[in-house]
């Protein structure tokens, strides 16, 4: 059994908390769950100083970038309230992160009901608090972000040099295919379909051509997109669509779109994703507290990777992305 001292260092970036009062936004997802299960979840989501750090220590996760759990203010019908509460959420998180600045970073919570306000809040949190980017929970009240009205947000993210994590949300409209099958509309399947579809809307909507230095993060081993790259290319080329892209669709997946391993502790899936995207595009994450920190850490340490690849996935890519490592650290990993 490995001790903490010789476990590979890790950085994790799909790690959730919930600010006071924000559980009301999540109620529609937790309503059907047993009360004691929800109580345990709430306790872990609101903890920053005890169990969260103990689990990070046990798995040698040196740094975790924290984000408000879904859907947050993106479910808020009143735009002014969404903008105000997003800011309150970020101030709360900044205060909590400041207690452990070497262990925690932050993704901003933004109200995309108003793209200009979302861009302004992203910039404010990066400049004032050193936030690492933003995590957005899919669509906002059914709106997706490939249209020009959202360019102000993408432009700001690119200009600030910070990534945007596109996290799942429930379907805006469940497809007829999954009617009567709530089990398939949730995290087991539907959220991934919804999120991969949203990422492709951004890609085919030209967002990465307009903002070629923009980085989008997808969790859950890329929401299955790594395995469809070739077919997306070949069928896009085969059938006229009227859409022109600067590059083949696959070329954005692994450059503009990076992925994390959250919730997919499967070595064949990891090797497939690295084979498709390259080792520089795959980053370790847990999806705390919905997934097991211990399982995620044991998985990545035992995965059949050479040690340089393991170092890139566990921390090297994250240090590059978040500008955390010294130049010497990054040079050692040839990144």
In angstroms, what is the minimal distance from the CB of 135 to Mn ion?
Answer: 9
Separation between Cα atoms, residue 254 and residue 94, nearest integer Å:
30
Nearer to Mn ion, 205 or 263 (CB): 263
CB 17 within 8 A of CB 291: no
Nearer to Mn ion, 184 or 187 (CB): 187
Stretch that binds Mn ion, among 17-25, 53-61, 285-293, 299-307 (CB under 5 A): 285-293
**Which residue's Cβ has the minimum distance to Mn ion?**
287
Stretch that binds Mn ion, among 21-29, 286-294, 312-320, 323-331 (CB under 5 A): 286-294
Number of residues that bind Mn ion (CB under 5 A): 2
Nearer to Mn ion, 169 or 215 (CB): 169
Contact letters for Mn ion, residues 11-40 (x by CB under 5 A): ---x--------------------------
Nearer to Mn ion, 169 or 256 (CB): 169
Instruction: Kindly tell me which residue out of 62, 146, 287, 291 binds Mn ion, with binding defined by CB under 5 A.
Output: 287
Tokens of 289: 């507290």
In angstroms, what is the minimal distance from the CB of 168 to Mn ion?
Answer: 7
Separation between Cα atoms, residue 16 and residue 21, nearest integer Å:
15
Stretch that binds Mn ion, among 83-91, 122-130, 182-190, 287-295 (CB under 5 A): 287-295
In angstroms, what is the minimal distance from the CB of 70 to Mn ion?
Answer: 7
287 given a catalytic annotation? yes
Nearer to Mn ion, 224 or 330 (CB): 224
In angstroms, what is the minimal distance from the CB of 81 to Mn ion?
Answer: 24
Stretch that binds Mn ion, among 7-15, 33-41, 137-145, 173-181 (CB under 5 A): 7-15
Stretch that binds Mn ion, among 29-37, 102-110, 279-287, 323-331 (CB under 5 A): 279-287
CB 20 within 8 A of CB 46: yes
In angstroms, what is the minimal distance from the CB of 41 to Mn ion?
Answer: 12
* List 78, 233, 287, 329, catalytic entry: 287
Nearer to Mn ion, 114 or 287 (CB): 287
Tokens of 210: 């307009």
Nearer to Mn ion, 14 or 114 (CB): 14
Tokens of 63: 């740094």
Question: Computed over its alpha carbons, how large is the radius of gyration of the chain?
Answer: 19
In angstroms, what is the minimal distance from the CB of 19 to Mn ion?
Answer: 16
Q: Rounded to an integer, what is the distance from CA 200 to the centroid of its chain?
A: 16
Q: Which of 226, 236, 310, 295 is nearest to 262 (CA)?
A: 295
Contact letters for Mn ion, residues 237-256 (x by CB under 5 A): --------------------
In angstroms, what is the minimal distance from the CB of 285 to Mn ion?
Answer: 8
Residues with catalytic roles: 287
Judged by the rule CB under 5 A, the positions of this chain that interact with Mn ion are 14, 287
């Amino acid at each position: 059994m490995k001790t903490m001292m010789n476990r590979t260092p890790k950085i994790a970036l799909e790690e959730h908390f919930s600010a006071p009062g924000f559980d009301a936004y999540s109620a529609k997802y937790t309503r059907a769950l047993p009360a004691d299960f929800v109580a345990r979840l709430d306790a872990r989501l609101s903890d920053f100083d005890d169990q969260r750090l103990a689990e990070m220590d046990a798995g040698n996760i040196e740094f975790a970038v924290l984000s408000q759990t879904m859907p947050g203010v993106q479910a808020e019908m009143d735009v002014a309230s969404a903008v105000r509460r997003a800011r309150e959420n970020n101030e709360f998180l900044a205060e909590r992160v400041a207690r452990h600045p070497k262990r925690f970073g932050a993704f901003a919570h933004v109200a995309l009901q108003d793209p200009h306000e979302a861009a302004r809040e992203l910039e404010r949190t990066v400049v004032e608090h050193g936030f690492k980017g933003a995590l957005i929970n899919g669509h906002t009240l059914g709106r997706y972000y490939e249209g020009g009205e959202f360019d102000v947000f993408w432009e700001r993210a690119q200009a600030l040099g910070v990534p945007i994590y596109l996290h799942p949300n429930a379907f805006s409209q469940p497809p007829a295919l999954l009617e009567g099958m709530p089990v398939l509309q949730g995290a087991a399947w539907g959220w991934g379909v919804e999120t991969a579809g949203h990422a492709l809307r951004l890609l085919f909507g030209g967002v990465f051509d307009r903002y070629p230095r923009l980085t989008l993060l997808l969790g859950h081993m890329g929401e299955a997109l790594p395995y469809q790259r070739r077919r997306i290319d070949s069928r896009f080329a085969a059938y006229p669509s009227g859409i022109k892209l600067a590059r083949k669709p696959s070329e954005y997946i692994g450059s503009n779109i990076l992925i994390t391993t959250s919730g997919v502790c499967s070595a064949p899936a990891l090797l497939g994703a690295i084979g498709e995207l390259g080792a520089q595009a795959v980053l370790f994450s847990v999806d705390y507290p919905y997934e097991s920190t211990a399982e995620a850490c044991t998985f990545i340490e035992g995965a059949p990777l050479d040690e340089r690849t393991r170092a890139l996935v566990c921390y090297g890519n994250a240090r590059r992305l978040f500008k955390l490592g010294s130049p010497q650290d990054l040079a050692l990993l040839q990144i």
